[in-house]
Amino acid sequence: MSVITGNETGRRITPVYSLGEGFHRALPRKSADDDLILPDWYAEASAPVPPMSPLYIGALTALVLIVLCAFVGVRYFRELEQKMEKSLEEAEASLAISFTNEPTVFEYGSEQIPAMRFVSDHTGEVSFEGSDVIDTSKVGLTQIVYRVSAVDSYDQTAQKEVVRNYFVQDTASPVIELKEDLVRIGAWDEFDPAANVLTVEDPADGKMDYAENAEKGKYTVVTDLDTHTAGDYLVTVLAQDKNGNTCEASYGVQVRYVYDYSGNVLNPVIGTINGPNGKETYYNLPMDLIVDIMRGMGFSEEEYPYWIRKDGVKMLGDYVMVAADLHIRPRGSTIETSLGTGLVCDTGGFALRNPTQIDIAVDW
């Protein structure tokens, strides 16, 4: 075994053991004179460790530096990230937008209203998500998304969005203008009820056209007018715009058998009137004998057929059959009545009381 002696330091000798470069194993025991007694295995186990090569040392140094830089880099970027987050939050907090007190409900029309018109103040830049106008030609809700944005010192874009609702409504009805409030026509005249309509126009949609049946964006006419029958009729004009707003206007039509007569027409309800030639009444009796009398006077069946008009007036050809005072109005003479041109075919006891009265034959 190998022995390493101690050195003298003062009165005591302290052993110093030089075990060779790279030896890290503890020694088991000492001799009585403080000499170190090495075990048998020392010679083999305490062989010197060969020194590290420069390349290995360089690689180890580089690894240490990389680890150190990585640690420092992670810390730097974490701090940078926190600064950037704070900067973005501050930029967002500085963004604001305010609006005017203008109404947000608009009437239907053709105007294109810029959304920027309603911004009273703002920070940053204003842009829009989608449309930046309110189109008043479209009824309903329009949502405008206002976006304010700003760029911070780290070139980050901060932004805020505000959604505002605008409404377009159509409350204006069409306007109907008539030519006349009362139209007078003669029986059997051709007359188009729509011809008395001057214009029908919607404030937003403009001029409206006529349609046989009611439909949006057009107007129509409703009436029970019978131009073949004397009477007073009502014509109603109905208009509906594209958004369903409606309006109506009415006018009267007087159908008369005498053009220049505008008074009442004899009918089952009004049994006595003052017609164009005085008092008129009506009667309902069989006309066979009277027709035979007229045939004998030359009023042939071919030219003067006997028939009952749609309104119940008994006719001989184109003439209303009437009874009158034959001394004043001879049989076969004509006279204007409220129901048309009359042909004197008959007489009656009324003529003694009122010689100017005429009695009109009807089936009422």
Q: Angle at Cα 95 formed by Cα 94 and Cα 96, nearest 5°?
A: 115
Residues of each domain in the chain carrying CATH 2.60.40.10: 175-256
Question: What is the C-alpha to C-alpha distance for residues 180 and 142, in angstroms, rounded to an integer?
Answer: 43
Give the mean pLDDT of 199-227.
Answer: 94
- Compute the radius of gyration of the chain from its Cα atoms: 59
pLDDT at 36: 59
Instruction: Please give the pLDDT value at position 283.
Output: 97
Of 260 and 332, which is predicted with more confidence?
Answer: 332
Predicted TM-score of the model (pTM): 0.56
List pLDDT tens digits, range 13-25: 445 445 555 544 5
Is residue 285 left, alpha or beta, with left meaning phi > 0 and alpha meaning psi from -120 to 50?
A: beta
Asked if pLDDT for residue 347 goes beyond 50, the answer is yes
d(CA 219, CA 211): 6
Tell me the CATH number of domain 97-169, given options 2.40.160, 2.60.40, 1.20.144, 2.40.50. Answer: 2.60.40
Topology of the domain comprising 175-256 = Immunoglobulin-like (2.60.40)
Q: What is the pLDDT of residue 14?
A: 47
Model pLDDT, residue 1: 44
The whole-number average pLDDT for the span 122-136 is 95
Burial status of residue 3 (CB atoms within 10 A of its CB: 0-12, 13-18, 19 or more): exposed
